[in-house]
A = this chain, B = another copy of it.
């Protein structure tokens, strides 16, 4: 495994390395940890990367690794840079034949995303996108329950992702995480909507498989001087007649990472929250509320849900383990590829390049709708999978 990005001050680089290695199926051996060559070198010991494989650019990394014997060379590369760099690294890595795990949003804009999709399609690599919340056992459980019909026809999806850390102008204080996320040249066309609303939207798509039709969106920037949205709400019309809402905030005092989703079907409803991820609430009129806890041994667990658990119920599993599940599913396909087996490229357990295209389309249409007084714009992209 190689890591691109993740140098000092990064939060997500460390997450990728811990998640990828959690189950002892990968070892981090190479990296291009920063676009600053010095920092790229100096950050390497923190990750246990030996100096020889601490490259000063992703180009050098790809080139050098490609020359190594197959059993020494990295199998895949994880991209944890700011958004504007994703495309070039991913595109080059895929073309060089390396499997890729890329942070979301996948690229800087939709055009890049579509190009990358083509590159991936033309290759035989495994490409995973880190919509990491889809790795939670009870999220996978929910998906299987819904696709299996437990909720009946889906009428409504309410998703929100509420944070408060950008309530003040951290970018003015040059805080690293805030700076690039609020900089249109690095983050892309959207702020909160690119960073977190995409997660909320993707979660609804992943859980229900409902195909979108149109979106109307209203973005706001509440912090003075900020150049991107820090709050917004979108209404989504699904093509089965269902209605969705997606709300994202970075300016809600004291709120942390409250990604929450509620789904209403004709036969039942579900609710899940990231901050309390080991519970899934299933409700049906006339019955007691059912709290499904993450329990690998419970008869009510679906196969994917149970397989995503490592330890018994009541011992909480959390963010890293969910992230590791995403990696684990990608590893399964990487192993198939390595052994020459065929593997599903579209309807994968992990979120993939097609989901990435959808995410970029969502961002683009939300921004456009907001600029046009919340006009209804199409939201269904050919890349969309069920």
Interface residues of A (CB under 8 A from B): 11, 14-15, 17-18, 21-24, 28, 47-48, 155-156, 158, 160, 162-165, 167-168, 216, 218, 220, 222, 231-233, 235, 237, 241, 243, 245, 247, 249, 251-258, 262, 264-269, 274-278, 282-293, 295, 298-300, 310-321, 373-374, 376
Cβ-neighbour of A222 out of B155, B278, B289 (below 8 A):
B155
Cβ-neighbour of A17 out of B24, B255, B256 (below 8 A):
B24
Selected A-B contacts with CB under 8 Å, 27 pairs: A11-B312, A22-B320, A163-B314, A165-B312, A167-B266, A216-B218, A216-B374, A245-B245, A249-B264, A252-B269, A253-B264, A253-B268, A253-B283, A253-B284, A254-B285, A254-B289, A256-B312, A256-B314, A257-B312, A274-B315, A275-B278, A287-B299, A288-B300, A316-B316, A317-B318, A318-B318, A374-B376
- Shortest Cβ distance from A268 into B: residue: B253
Do A156 and B275 contact each other (CB < 8 Å), given the known contacts A285-B165, A315-B319, A316-B318? no
Cβ-neighbour of A318 out of B233, B253, B321, B373 (below 8 A):
B321
Contacts of A241 in B (CB 8 A): 220
Do A252 and B156 contact each other (CB < 8 Å), given the known contacts A164-B269, A283-B164, A291-B289? yes
